[in-house]
A and B are shown apart, each in its own frame.
Chain A
Amino acid sequence: MVQDLKKIGEETVAKAVKLGAAEAEIFLVSDQELSIEVTGQEVENMKVAESRGLGVRVIKDGKFGFAYTADLGGDALDFVVKQALDNADITAVDEFNKLPQPGAKYPQLDIYDEAIGNASVEQKIQLAKDIERYAKEYDSRIAITERCAYQDASYHVSIVNSHGISQEYRGAYCGAYAFLVAQEGEDQQTGFGLQYELKFKQLDPKKVGYEAAEKAVRMLGAEEVATQKATVVLDPYVATNFLGVIAPALTAESVQKGKSLFAGKVGQTVGSSSLTIIDDGAMEGAVVSAPMDGEGVPCGKTVLIEGGQVKRFLHNTYTAAKEGVQSTGNGTRGSFKGTPEVGTTNFYIAPGDTSREKLLGDISQGLYITEVMGMHTANPISGDFSVGASGLWIENGEFVRPVKGVAIAGNIKDLLQSIDCIGTDLTFFVGKGSPTIRIANMTISGS
């Protein structure tokens, strides 16, 4: 079946060229997924899924056309190719429309762990149950399980284009997570823990369960604080939420369209001298790593901001052609239904040199933020953000009480400049990673 897919790709590319495409590309994916959700030591939901499909990109008269199909039968392939060619009639001519050339060297990555597929469903159910058991063991106030889950996926990708690229690879990942509620009297607070890995044996249900339980329990009794300016610390998860807002601004696509905060700032200082931001699609052991991007260009490491200075932006083949540079291997696709847009892979803030303990220990008064709400409303173009926040109040380097119902606001540009310390504890949450980050002075909106 795997062999079939690449063959379907090669045949469909030939079909597109025969029907008038100057260049053609087929992106095929076949995947299998399993998810198991446990509540009260019973399986509440189990999902098994299989899907496959392909996306066709053609260039005709300098214009791009795209269409996709989940039906790989004979007629459907003819139809999807014609549809892509028809769509190319409508889009604009652009001299930089092109597909990548073959001959590139791909990184060798260990991203397919057979143990994931070999482990039995019973073993995976047990893992999800263990997370819940550990969470309850951690503290008797863990009253409700929203869900404790195990999840895995394996996939096979083929990329074929009319210049001669004909590649395929397979990968797999697995994950465990917990969303829990701690209760004391009328007060209920939530906490979560999660872990995604390339290797089955790396999953640690105890760690996930304890983490979720600790986060929920420590928020019990949370109250508002008065509106004030204070030191703010972002825990690694919250920091990766902010990274998500910065990501689009570091793509060449946003820069070329005048939608980036960092446009025209290469070589300039935009953040604290301790700030380094990297994207690395070929990072050892990282969940989003792959030998190539969605266009068949090798993945690799790109330093975007170094010591607070903008170094370069992420590219796909199109944005790179426009500037006469090489693609950075960041033509990412969400699925076979999407075109390769400039996107991040394993995207992270490099660790600093201060331990988390020292970073917190130096604070006389401040807020350690563990959760933000409404981050998707932050504006990646203007950089403005205003989000709800909760966390722990710090006095003289110690957590003294939980805080909820406050908001923090500002502009990403100012936030990057006000970073005054970066921890050593780089932690990944699927495709984004960050250490603990300390911000010198921020408004906390409260009562």
Chain B
Amino acid sequence: MLTKENLAEVLSLALQNGGDFADIYLERKKTTIIGLEADKIERVKSGIDVGAGLRVISGDNTSYAHTNDISIESLKKTAQIVSKAAAGEKKSADTTLKQKPANWELNYQKRPGEVDIKDKVSLVEAANKAAREADNRVKQVAVGYGDVEQQVTIANSDGSYQEDLRLRTRIIINVVAQDGDVIQTGFESLGGLQGFEIFDDSDVSQLAKSAAQRAVAMLEAKPAPAGKMAVVMASEAGGTMVHEACGHGLEADLVQKKLSVYGGKLGQKVASELITVVDDGTKDGKYGSFRYDDEGTPASKTVLIEKGILKSYMYDRLTGRKENRESTGNGRRESYQDRPIPRMTNTYIESGTSDPQEIIAETKQGLLVKKMGGGQVNTTNGEFVFDVAEGYLIKDGKVGQMVRGATLTGNGPKVLQIVDRVGNDLGFAIGTCGKDGQGVPVSDAQPTMRIPEMVVGGILEED
């Protein structure tokens, strides 16, 4: 077992040739994955990942090395490697490592490691059964269950030392429906920074049924129309839009490298006054939450845009240091193999005042998005896309024909400026966000919203 003194020694070694800052991230991760498909439990995987990542920052240069041998000898060797790239005067680490209090406390009920694997298997089988019973056009069901117990220890040369335990549990249900030559799919997921108790309040069978019903309904859907039209996003659609349209562009590393359309716009109006955007890593049980981020900074709530005015970006230590300010607790990494970078946690647009039903009723013609899939953004020019997993045409204020195969594309700042209705509801969805090759768990949410005009990527009907 590594002591605080061991870690302090490693940090001092890392700074032996100079450098402004060093930190070490130790991780021990226990993973269980259960996969069911074709009516049988196909795979059960379990594994233990152990490793440490060491970083030295020297001016604008970051040197990073990692190893999955966490003996003190190996860590010292790794410290020698990272110390080589550093320059300047020899610096010693603050050896009085201390823990800072968190902004909120964890409340895990059932540690996945202590739950009988048979209970996990039953849950997966129940989801499969419910999806198959939903409709006889359901041809294939895949259920993926996963839990992770991640223990981290993070120490740095400024004397900060944190330990944390993150438990994350999730289930994903994919359903394939077929009618003749047409195949369609439906998908639902549930996950959180929670133990197995997440399933106490949520009905997995209902979730599976709704994935099945969407797959079946999609068999009858028509291709989406093409061109510009009004778009209403229901709260249950999730928050992919806010994540892409402004979330990534508000990450400080992209801003500082002049790779964001939101750069240099603090205090300026970047969205409709109906829009307030928040990133909050302290939301109890949400998939993107944690007590301390991956640099040991306590998670916090950051108002990014308030009534249309840009208030703050999201910072990690490195980007905070460049502007002489504190990290906002957004320094995250996929694993000990990666250096931390500014990332979102749980990102949402705050609820407004409009009645969601009225928003639809007041829309003459357009597209209703009931569920969003993934998305992507080019932060440099603000162009973004997101996938519509469930969409319907709106005609004269009424919800009509279901459509498929639609991606919505727009320009982040432009779309947020023209939002003209924000509902009094809010709906979260989970996802894995990818940036620089690192995937981290996040959640996003939006109220029901209307955008008067967006490009729908559909099919032009033959004349």
Interface residues, chain A, with chain B CB atoms under 8 Å away? 39, 42-53, 64-71, 76, 80, 83, 86-88, 90-92, 94, 143-144, 146, 181, 187-190, 224, 227-229, 256-259, 261, 337, 339, 373-374, 376-377, 379, 381-388, 390, 404-411, 443-447
Contact = CB atoms under 8 A, between A and B. Distances in A.
B387 A66 contact: no
Identify which of B64, B85, B385 gathers the most chain A CB atoms within 10 Å of its CB.
Answer: B385
Nearest to A263: B183
Contacts of A39: 257
Given A144-B258, A388-B383, 14 more contacts: A47-B63, A47-B65, A49-B67, A70-B68, A71-B50, A90-B44, A189-B381, A373-B378, A376-B376, A377-B375, A377-B407, A381-B184, A382-B184, A388-B409
Nearest to A384: B405
B207 interface: no
A189 B259 CA distance: 10
Given A189-B381, A374-B386, A386-B458, A92 B226 contact: no
Interface stretch (B33-41, B105-113, B344-352): B33-41
Contact of B81 (A48, A64, A188, A411): A48
7 contacts: A47-B339, A70-B49, A144-B257, A187-B381, A257-B37, A383-B183, A390-B383
A69 B85 contact: no
Given A94-B40, A388-B457, A51 B66 contact: yes
Contact of B376 (A53, A80, A374): A374
A52 B41 CA distance: 29
A200 to B, nearest CB: 21
A140 B61 CA distance: 25
Contacts of A404: 381, 383
B257 A50 contact: no
Contact of B223 (A67, A374, A408, A409): A409
A259 B381 contact: no
B47 interface: yes
Interface string B186-216: 0000000000000000000000000000000
Contacts of B384: 373, 388
A379 B187 CA distance: 11
A143 B378 CA distance: 17
Interface string B332-365: 0000010100000000000000000000000000
Contacts of A51: 51, 66-68, 337
A431 B407 CA distance: 27
Interface string B60-84: 1111111110000000000001100
A443 B457 CA distance: 9
A228 B259 contact: no
Per DSSP, chain B at the interface is strand
Contacts of A381: 176, 183-185
B242 interface: no
B136 to A, nearest CB: 14
A377 B387 contact: yes
B117 interface: yes
Given A46-B61, A387-B407, A406-B455, A190 B380 contact: yes
Contacts of A66: 43-46
Nearest to B31: A337
B426 interface: no
Given A52-B68, A90-B41, A90-B44, A409 B458 contact: yes
Interface in B1-58: 34, 37-38, 40-51
A385 B376 CA distance: 14
A383 B409 CA distance: 20
B10 to A, nearest CB: 16
Contacts of B375: 374, 377
Contacts of B456: 407, 445
A409 B38 contact: no
B307 interface: no
A120 B377 CA distance: 37
A224 B228 CA distance: 11
Interface in B422-463: 455-460
Contact of A259 (B50, B140, B409): B140
A146 B182 CA distance: 43
Contact of A443 (B66, B226, B228): B226
Contacts of B60: 42, 44
Contacts of B81: 48
Contacts of A189: 380-381
A66 B411 CA distance: 46
A44 B227 CA distance: 42
Nearest to A413: B181
A407 B409 contact: yes
A168 B230 CA distance: 59
A87 B33 CA distance: 10
B370 interface: no
Contacts of B405: 384-386, 409-411
A39 B411 CA distance: 27
A45 B339 contact: yes
What are the nearest 3 A-B pairs in CB distance? A407-B457, A377-B387, A92-B40
B265 to A, nearest CB: 12
Contacts of A447: 227-228, 455
A392 B381 CA distance: 17
B374 interface: yes
A337 to B, nearest CB: 6
Identify which of A42, A47, A228, A383 gathers the most chain B CB atoms within 10 Å of its CB.
Answer: A47
Contacts of A261: 183
B232 interface: no
Contacts of A379: 185
B407 A258 contact: no
B131 interface: no
B139 interface: yes
B420 to A, nearest CB: 19
Nearest to B49: A70
A71 B48 contact: yes
A5 to B, nearest CB: 14
Contacts of A187: 381
Given A189-B380, A382-B183, A46 B62 contact: yes
Contacts of A67: 45-47
